Each structure stands twice: as C-alpha cells, then as structure tokens.
C-alpha cells in the first residue's frame, strides 16, 4: 500500500498491495488486560502491568475501576499501551459517584457486574448505542440466583442497576459457551459463601481462571467445570500482558493473502483456548511457526513467524466457531480470495457482537462484488473470487473495520472504510501498522 493512503475524518482509504512484510509489535491482549485491571482493583497492594492493552475498551474498564475508588495511572510510556499501575483497595470498593460507563465494551459490563454483585452498594452500568443493544440476561440470571438484585431495560438489555449484597454460591451451567459469563460468575464467586462452580457447555477461553490464580486465588478446573471458594483475598501482581492474538489475526490473514509474504509477531499470547486460530490458519494454507515459548503468570507467550503460501479456505463449525468467534470477521472478509472458500456454521453469537457480524460481513463483501450466502447462524463464501475496492462501512464495529482493511489489500482499486476509527475499540494503531507492512 503506498504511503499516501489518506485518513478522511473517521474514514480510512486502503490501497491494493502486492504483499506484506515485516514485524509488528502487537499491544497487550484485551481479554487479559480487562481481567487484570478488575482483579487488581479488588486486590491488596499496587499492581503494575506492562504492555497493557491500548484498547479503548480497556480504558473503559480502568475508568469504571477509578469510579469505584481504585486509582490508576500510566507509569511510563512504552509502546502504545505502556505500563499502568492500579491501586487495589481490597474486596470492598467505594460506591460510585456516577453511572459506570462501559462504552462499547461488553466485557467490562459483563465481568464487572460479577464484582458489583458482591458489593454493599448499588450501582448502575451503561454503554454506547451498540452495547445498549447487547444481551445481558446471560449474566443477570446467574447473579440473581446468587442473590444480587438486578434490573435492566426490556429484554435484559443495558443499562443495568445492580444492588449488591451477600451472595450465595451456585453450580451454574450456562446454555451459551461464554468466557465473559464464566468470568462474571467466578468473580462473583469470590464474594459468595461456599463453592461456586461454572460448568460450561464447551471450553471457552480461561483467562479468568488464570488471572485469579495469578492474583493468589485457588481455583480448580476439571473437565469443563471451574470451581472457586468464596472469601479468598487477592494480592497485587506485576505482570507483562502478552500481545493480543485476536489483533495478530489481522496481520496473519494479510500474510495469507499473498504467497511469499512474511510477517513476524513477537510476544503473542499462545493460550491454548485461543490458539486454535493458528491450527485453522495452517489448515487453510498459511505457514506458521512459533518460537521463544515462555510462560508469564500462567499465560503462554511466543513469537509467531508466518509465511503466505496457497490459501485454501475451509470450514469453521462447532467448538471451533466458539474458539474463533473474534477472528471470524477477518477470516470471512478474506475468504473470497481463497481457493475453496469458507463456510461458517454454529455462529449465532456472531449476530449479537458489537454489530451483527454476519450481516455486516455479507453487506461489505457484496459491495466489493463478492458472492456470499448468509445464513441465520453462519455464512458460505465461495472462493476464487475477484473483489473490487468499494465504499464500505465499519458498522461501528472495530473488527469489521480492521477485517475489511485487510480484505482491501487484495481488491482491485482503492477501498474507503467509513467509521474506521472504530478500530480503536481494540487496536488504535491498526491502520498505521497495516500501512507499514504493506508493500
């Protein structure tokens, strides 16, 4: 992509490229950063996090924590997210002086609710237009069962009002596989009497369990059940947040589009509950190797080297759909360029993310001239298609904006992405980094 790519207000213009090459340092993982910030707030002592996520979503979590009495500051500027310090106040937070604004962040609202359910005050959580449409019954049901009093807008939508208090433990079997719900209930479990168990229908990301352990809690995982005994106190930690694999996915897919491309991504989160993405990318044809594997506070970290070769496409279904839920937009947006195309099944959850991601992907791909079959819980995108640059919309969704930034690299002609600044929700420097690696 030439250097003269221009940003027009919140629009970004992306030009076709011949390949991608180089190294990208990816900011800290969003899922881990949210959990570290919340647990640091209810721990004792001052926690420090290096490479903390630069995501606006994580800034929403930090602001909510500050509103609950946990001071935080950026202690040095190193990279984009930098190092932050959070002053823990122990399990009892202070009643907030204003509504807790979660912005665009479902993770903030859902996981923080678990902590608020155990507080001796009432609080209110709100979000932006997109978050105000997202389902919260999935956390209201278990928290109410534990004893919290929660009211919401019609259909279990935000804003939420939570009257916290003493909680009782539950054995909860959520119908939907959701790591946010699991973390929410386990965080509430810290405040409950007895042992709280979450038995999930399939394995979801386990950053909540790993972070709880890092802060000194005992938590047991057997099969698909995680158990925590209430009343445990957390201790502050100093940790390095691994690079976000879901952000790395955009560069990996960009490399996959061009045989001969080469990309290096150091210090990336390799947690097995997230790294299924790498298996799928390899099955689809990307050459991937991982070096310098290390463990940081229970999270695996490694350097990814990827090389574009044949891009074959494939099928994502069942537990793979749940494991790759955040990466499906970029896999789908780049699928028309693959040999065999892509089919996504069992992805009803895609419709209740920051946007309806099935319809957003289909609309943008059609604008680029692609054929797409949209289904209630997935899509089928034939391979071997040629796409043309077009005027696209982010639908206010960070992953849609970035996915089509990548797809645009192989289109014929330039692509304008309106509302591209949505990328800041998880990765503010994304388009700058994309320009740097595009030839």
Whole-angstrom CA distances from 141 to 107, 144, 146, 152 are 17, 5, 9, 12
> Which of 17/58 has CB closer to ligand S3P?
58
* Bridge partners, 416 (sequence order): 13, 391
Count, in order, helices (H) and strands (E) of the chain: 14, 27
Nearer to ligand S3P, 240 or 353 (CB): 353
Report, in Å, the least distance between residue 38 CB and ligand S3P: 11
The site map against ligand S3P for 234-263 (x = CB under 6 A) is ------------------------------
What does 2-46 look like in DSSP terms, one character per residue?
-TT--EETTEEEE---S-BEEE--PPBPHHHHHHHHHHHHTEEEE
> CA nearest 384: which of 279, 310, 282, 280?
310
**Residue among 57, 244, 326, 397 flagged as catalytic:** 326
Look at the alpha carbons of 213, 245, 129, 375 in this order and tell me if their dihedral is positive or negative.
negative
Supply the minimum distance, in Å, between the C-beta of residue 400 and ligand S3P: 13
Residue of 144, 156, 153, 214 whose CA lies nearest to 184: 144
The C-alpha atoms of residue 302 and residue 294 are separated, in whole angstroms, by 6
Q: How far apart are the first and last CA of the chain?
A: 6
Please identify, using beta-carbon distances, which residue of 178 and 261 lies nearer to ligand S3P: 178
Give the whole-angstrom CA distance, residue 221 versus residue 325. 23
Residue pointed to by tokens 């070096």:
291
Least Cβ distance, residue 27 to ligand S3P (angstroms): 15
Least separation in angstroms between residue 107's CB and ligand S3P is: 5
Return the structure tokens found at 53.
Answer: 């996520």
Which CB sits closer to ligand S3P, 393 or 397? 397
Among 178, 261, 271, 415, binds ligand S3P (CB under 6 A): 178
* Contact residue for ligand S3P among 51, 60, 180, 321 (CB under 6 A): 180
Contact flag: residue 31 with ligand S3P (CB under 6 A): yes
Contact (CB, 8 A) for 246 and 324: no
Shortest approach of ligand S3P to residue 240 CB, angstroms? Answer: 18
Q: Name the phi and psi angles at 360, rounded to 5.
A: -65, -45
- The two three-digit tokens of residue 19, written as one number: 């390949």
Of 10, 6, 14, 8, residue with least CA distance to 254: 14
Active site residue 326: yes
Candidate residues 107, 247, 321, 355; the one interacting with ligand S3P per rule CB under 6 A = 107
Determine if 360 is a binding residue for ligand S3P (CB under 6 A): no
User: Angle at the Cα of 373 (from 369 to 379), degrees rounded to 5?
Assistant: 115
Helix residue ranges per DSSP H, 42-127: 56-67, 106-116
Candidate list 12, 14, 40, 179; residue touching ligand S3P; CB under 6 A: 179
Instruction: Tell me how far apart the alpha carbons of residues 336 and 20 are, in angstroms, rounded to a whole number.
Output: 18
Residue number, 16 or 201, with CB nearest to ligand S3P: 201
Bridge partners of residue 388, in order along the sequence: 412
Q: Smallest gap, in angstroms, from Cβ of residue 57 to ligand S3P?
A: 9
Nearer Cβ to ligand S3P (255/325): 325
Question: Going by DSSP bridges, is the β-strand pair 43-50/122-126 parallel, antiparallel, or unpaired?
Answer: unpaired
Backbone angles phi, psi at 248, to 5 degrees: -60, -30
Of 87, 203, 205, 297, the one binding ligand S3P by CB under 6 A: 205
CA-based nearest residue to 60, from 94, 25, 111, 97: 111
Stretch that binds ligand S3P, among 7-15, 83-91, 177-185, 276-284 (CB under 6 A): 177-185
| Stretch touching ligand S3P by CB under 6 A, among 17-25, 142-150, 179-187, 387-395 | 179-187
When the beta carbons of 330 and 438 are compared against ligand S3P, the nearer one is 330
Task: Report whether 135 contacts 156 (CB < 8 A).
Answer: yes
Nearest CB to ligand S3P, comparing residues 326 and 433: 326
53 phi and psi angles, rounded to 5 deg: -50, 140
User: Residue 15 Cβ, how far from ligand S3P at the closest point, in Å?
Assistant: 29
Min dist CB 246 to ligand S3P, Å, is 7
By the rule CB under 6 A, 326 interacts with ligand S3P: yes
Minimum CB separation of residue 429 from ligand S3P in Å reads 19
Cβ proximity to ligand S3P: between 329 and 389 the closer is 329
Q: Would you name the residues annotated as active-site residues?
A: 326
What is the binding site for ligand S3P (CB under 6 A)? 31, 107, 178-180, 183, 205, 325-326
């Amino acid at each position: 992509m030439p250097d003269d790519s221009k940003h027009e207000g919140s629009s970004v213009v992306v030009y076709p490229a011949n390949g991608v090459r180089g190294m990208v340092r990816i900011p800290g993982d969003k899922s881990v950063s949210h959990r570290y910030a919340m647990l640091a707030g209810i721990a004792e002592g001052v926690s420090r996090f290096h490479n903390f996520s630069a995501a606006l979503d994580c800034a929403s979590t930090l602001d909510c924590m500050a509103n609950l009495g946990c001071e935080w500051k950026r202690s040095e500027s190193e990279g984009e997210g930098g190092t932050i310090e959070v002053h823990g106040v122990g399990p009892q937070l202070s009643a907030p002086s204003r509504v807790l604004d979660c912005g665009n962040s479902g993770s903030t609202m859902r996981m923080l609710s678990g902590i608020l359910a155990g507080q001796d005050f009432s609080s209110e959580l709100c979000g932006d237009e997109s978050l105000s449409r997202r389902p919260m019954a999935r956390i209201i049901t278990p928290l109410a069962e534990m004893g919290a009093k929660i009211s919401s807008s019609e259909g279990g939508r935000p804003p939420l009002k939570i009257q916290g208090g003493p909680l009782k433990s539950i054995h909860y079997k959520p119908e939907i596989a959701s790591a946010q719900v699991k973390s929410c209930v386990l965080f509430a479990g810290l405040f409950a009497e007895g042992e709280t168990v979450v038995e999930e229908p399939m394995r979801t990301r386990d950053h909540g369990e790993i972070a709880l352990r890092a802060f000194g809690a005992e938590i047991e995982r057997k099969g698909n059940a995680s158990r925590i005994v209430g009343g445990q106190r957390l201790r502050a930690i100093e940790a390095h947040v691994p690079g976000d694999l879901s952000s790395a996915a955009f560069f990996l897919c960009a490399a996959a589009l061009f045989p001969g491309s080469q990309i290096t991504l150091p210090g990336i989160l390799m947690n097995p509950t997230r790294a299924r993405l790498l298996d799928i990318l390899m099955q689809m044809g990307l050459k991937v190797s991982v070096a310098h594997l290390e463990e940081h506070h229970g999270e695996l970290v490694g350097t990814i080297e990827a090389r574009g070769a044949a891009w074959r496409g494939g099928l994502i279904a069942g537990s793979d759909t749940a494991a790759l839920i955040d990466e499906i937009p970029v896999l789908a947006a780049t699928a028309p360029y693959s040999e065999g195309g892509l089919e996504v099944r069992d992805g009803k959850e895609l419709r209740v993310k920051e946007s309806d991601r099935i319809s957003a992907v289909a609309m943008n791909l059609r604008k680029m001239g692609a054929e797409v079959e949209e289904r209630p819980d997935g899509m089928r995108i034939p391979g071997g298609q040629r796409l043309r640059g077009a005027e696209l919309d982010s639908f206010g969704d960070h992953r849609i904006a970035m996915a089509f930034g990548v797809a645009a690299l192989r289109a014929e002609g330039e692509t304008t992405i309106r509302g591209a600044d949505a990328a800041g929700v998880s990765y503010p420097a994304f388009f700058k980094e994309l320009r740097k690696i595009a030839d």
